Structure 1
């Protein structure tokens, strides 16, 4: 059951999205990597556990929850995209100075939380889908959740701390402009997809 949960969780978590892009960026910036990774893992554990405990049925029965998360998430992602694109078009000297200054831990955690909890797909994937898969294993559902949670730990740790290790290689201002442009474009597309349903 643990291995089945690990594979199922990994299949859903590894897909590149706003949360993963943010963890990658924090790792490359070498800013608050451990707290951001921990928040993402704990959020997954809470949501997976809620799904295994039956919250997925409630989410399916209250469609307005998904609609609210979709609109909130879409607007947030578009705002984040605008900021990333604006960073990408700044001159290299301004970008280099900005990269030397660390952002606050509170801002990093609030952004990670917003990218996690304002994403309606997190509820569909983690609460509803993984919850249904876990509940399909009856009494062994918590072993399934343990496997899925393990996948979350492995993925976010590898993403955040792997990027941290690569930050020296990718630390040039020109590279950062490309990273911000790609993240901005991806967030903009994801935000528009959410808003357009």
Structure 2
């Protein structure tokens, strides 16, 4: 019996010698830690390089010649004479939902620019007759709108009427009318942007449109803020009537200049 017990103890000792040490798993984890640290370092370096690449691409896109050209062209149209800019100023002067009016015009501008770079601008370029009709419609629209303002001066001021009865929906509807029914806006935002953007490559057309729309945002919200800042100075009816007279005459003068250019080119 003693021999059997000693034999069992000896076999257990052999098994204990063959068993792996208790620290073998810990040592293997410790051995893998340098590899994990190296992988994390490589991954972090890759993420940093990707972020730097995106920043470089964004900076290049914002400062590309197409984007800068579109922005400069849009800045040149900020002071263009038309019913749209007058509507923006009027909404600010009368505090008739100026930001809703500006946002409506800006969203419409985005849609027209998208149509222009989508091919409508080149369509008008290849059809000179349509372009001439559009320019003539611009002149007629400017003259009609200017005459409408001057006729309203004899009675109650157009600005007074707008301040007294325009709701949010009426103000937005008026802005939609002077945008989508105004050939001058179609000529500027769709025809000219479409034609000028096609002078660049297909990848840079979006940059030209983005630069133009950035300047358009300054135009829409800038004119509304300008009207708001001047609203206290034009609170008297006589001042508003004088502003209406100047606006009507300016629009009619712009229509005459446009008509003269059409006749000269004919």
Relative to the length of structure 2, the TM-score reads 0.62
The answer to whether structure 1 residue 185 and structure 2 residue 255 are counterparts is no
The answer to whether structure 1 residue 153 and structure 2 residue 189 are counterparts is no
May I ask how many residue pairs the two structures share in their alignment?
194
The answer to whether structure 1 residue 131 and structure 2 residue 158 are counterparts is no
Larger Rg: 2
Residues 129 and 28 of structure 1: CA distance in aligned 2, closer, same or farther (over 3 Å): same
Give the structure 2 partner of residue 119 of structure 1. Answer: 182
Distance in 1 between residues matched to 2:136 and 2:127, nearest whole Å: 15
Residues 119 and 98 of structure 1: CA distance in aligned 2, closer, same or farther (over 3 Å): closer
Give the structure 2 partner of residue 6 of structure 1. Answer: 71
Shift of 1:118: 3.5
Q: 2:77 aligns to what SS in structure 1?
A: helix
Give the structure 1 partner of residue 15 of structure 2. Answer: none
Q: 1:163 aligns with which of 223, 227, 251?
A: 227
Shift of 1:66: 4.2
Extract unaligned runs of 5+ from structure 2: 1-63
Distance in 1 between residues matched to 2:220 and 2:249, nearest whole Å: 22
Give the structure 2 partner of residue 15 of structure 1. Answer: 80
Shift of 1:166: 1.4
Shift of 1:99: 6.2
The answer to whether structure 1 residue 144 and structure 2 residue 215 are counterparts is no
Q: 2:227 aligns to what SS in structure 1?
A: helix
The answer to whether structure 1 residue 80 and structure 2 residue 145 are counterparts is yes
Distance in 1 between residues matched to 2:73 and 2:241, nearest whole Å: 35
Give the structure 2 partner of residue 105 of structure 1. Answer: 168
Tell me if structure 2 keeps the 8 A contact 1:23–1:33: yes
Tell me if structure 2 keeps the 8 A contact 1:36–1:109: yes
Distance in 2 between residues matched to 1:40 and 1:18, nearest whole Å: 12
Extract unaligned runs of 5+ from structure 1: none
1:35-74 equivalences under 5 Å are 35-63=100-128, 65-66=130-131, 69-70=134-135, 73-74=138-139
Shift of 1:107: 3.7
Shift of 1:149: 0.4
Distance in 1 between residues matched to 2:219 and 2:248, nearest whole Å: 22
Provide Cα deviations, 1:126-180, integer angstroms capped at 9, x if missing partner. 2232223323332122122111101000111010122112101221111101011
Q: 2:165 aligns to what SS in structure 1?
A: coil
Residues 78 and 111 of structure 1: CA distance in aligned 2, closer, same or farther (over 3 Å): farther
RMSD: 2.8
